[in-house]
Structure 1
Amino acid sequence: MCVGKCAKCLGITLIPLALLCIIANTLLFFPNGKTGYNTPEKLADSVWCFSGILGSGVLMVFPILVFMGMENNDCCGCCGNESCGKRFANLSSMIFAGIGVAGAAYCFIVSAVGLNHGPKCITDYNSTYIYPFKNGDYLGNHSIWDICVEPPKIVPWHVTLFSLLLVMSGTQLVLCAIQVVNGLLGFICGDCSCCSCCDSA
């Protein structure tokens, strides 16, 4: 597959992932779709890192745009060298893929920490918002989830959305890493397609 076509395919795949990450992170501010809990005192610190909105969302826009434009980049050369433009395009795609890797890694790490720490909640033995779960052991013991009484059903909400962010950011990480390799191959070997303006010259 041509380097440009591969990059465009990766860009198309990243679009829904970025949108879903933004949606998942936004939903974390509204436990069970309810308002009134979106304050730092009531929600876990990991929610306020905006990892899905910034890392896997906004930052991912830049590699998406670059990847999508790779196939249609005519890159007709520079300094009399036809392949120069295409090599520069592949180099720039590697740089922006690196930005995507950084954003996805940020979201992945924050999501893992969020799952490990668990949510903040009021328990049946404490009247203030605390972290009732010391580590990730609660993930395999659903019977203790009921100790959180406020916000209602916060544990499954927290676990589900952070799990989705973990999976989607992990996928983004892999896709951007693929483009780093893809761009490197394109930079070294050149793109397999020829630009029409150079052919007609």
Structure 2
Amino acid sequence: MCSRSFTRSLGFALIPLAICCIVANILLYFPNGEVEHAKEDQLSKYVWFYMGIAGGGLVMFLPVVVFVNLDKCANCCANDSCAMCGSVLAALIGLAGSGYCFVISALALTEGPKCEVSGLWEYPFMNGTGEYLIKRNTWSRCHPISIVEWHVTLFSILLALSGLESIICAIQLVNGLVAAVCRPYKQRYSLNA
């Protein structure tokens, strides 16, 4: 019973993280609140991977539904171990979605934003090392002025949120495996005693 209530609380913890991932990804389409960048293909290619909308957002709602409704599932299943195995599968799907968001966000931060340099839209920080992140004085060569901050802030938020989602799903993976494997033995030994 205790592991089911813990799983339920993990499910509720995933809801705001998933919503924030979706919002952060949507904001990436409108640097500085301007629409024309998306229309004129002036966005980073990683924005179009939908890592926050799909991976960190919509995919996470499957584990949320399973984790929150685990009590109902345990009541209709033959035993509690079946329900916990279902939560393990949902946690694996959640890990895949949040992992996708994490990897794409890290790649986007490493490559840097697409911005205007000397009249051309390009990736001026595309050396693959992400050095621009610690050399803020290089950001001034990008136009519009705050596009680098927009890119770094939102992809960093996605990186952090997907990292938290991964931790929560990993905790449930371990919790579900322990509960599914250990509970039948505990019940068997308590019946024999």
Mark yes or no: TM-score above 0.5: yes
Contact preservation (8 Å) 2:74, 2:82: no
Deviation string 1:19-59 (CA, Å, 9 cap, x unpaired) is 00000000000001111111473111111101000001010
Q: Provide the C-alpha distance between the structure 2 equivalents of 1:56 and 1:76, rounded to a whole number of angstroms.
A: 30
TM-score by length of 1: 0.86
> 2:35 aligned with 1:35, yes or no?
yes
What's 1:149 paired with? 143
Q: C-alpha separation between the residues in 2 aligned to 1:76 and 1:106?
A: 33
The offset of 1:75, in angstroms, is 2.5
Matching residue of 1:113: 107
Spell out the pairing of 1:67-86 with structure 2 (5 A cutoff).
67-75=67-75, 78=78, 85-86=79-80
Q: 1:162 is matched by which residue type in structure 2?
A: F
**Partner secondary structure for residue 42 of structure 1:** coil
Q: Report the equivalent of 1:181.
A: 174
Select the structure that is richer in helix.
2
Q: How many pairs align? A: 183
Match of 1:46 in 2: 46
Alignment of 1:21-32 (within 5 A): 21-32=21-32
Residue 37 to residue 76, structure 1, CA distance change in 2 (3 Å): closer
Paired amino acid for 1:122:
E
Q: For each residue in 1:49-79, what CA deviation from the matched residue of structure 2 results, as whole angstroms up to 9, or x when unmatched?
A: 010000010100100000001134443553x
Closer/same/farther in 2, CA of residues 12 and 77 from structure 1, 3 Å limit = closer
Tell me what 2:190 maps to: none
Q: What letter corresponds to residue 149 of structure 1 in structure 2?
A: H
Distance 1:170 1:77, change over 3 A: closer
Equivalent residue number for residue 11 of structure 1 = 11
Specify every segment of 5 or more residues in structure 2 that has no aligned partner in the other structure, as ranges.
Answer: 188-193
In structure 2, C-alpha distance between the alignment counterparts of 1:164 and 1:4, rounded to whole Å? 30
Select the residue among 162, 168, 182 that pairs with 1:169: 162
Write out the 4+ residue segments of structure 1 that deviate beyond 3 Å after TM superposition.
71-74
TM-score (norm 2): 0.90
Residue of structure 2 aligned with 1:129, choices 97, 121, 130? 121
Given that 1:112 and 1:166 are in contact with CA atoms closer than 8 Å, whether structure 2 keeps it comes out as yes
Separation in structure 1 between the aligned mates of residue 2 and residue 111 of structure 2, nearest angstrom: 44
- SS across alignment from 1:75: helix
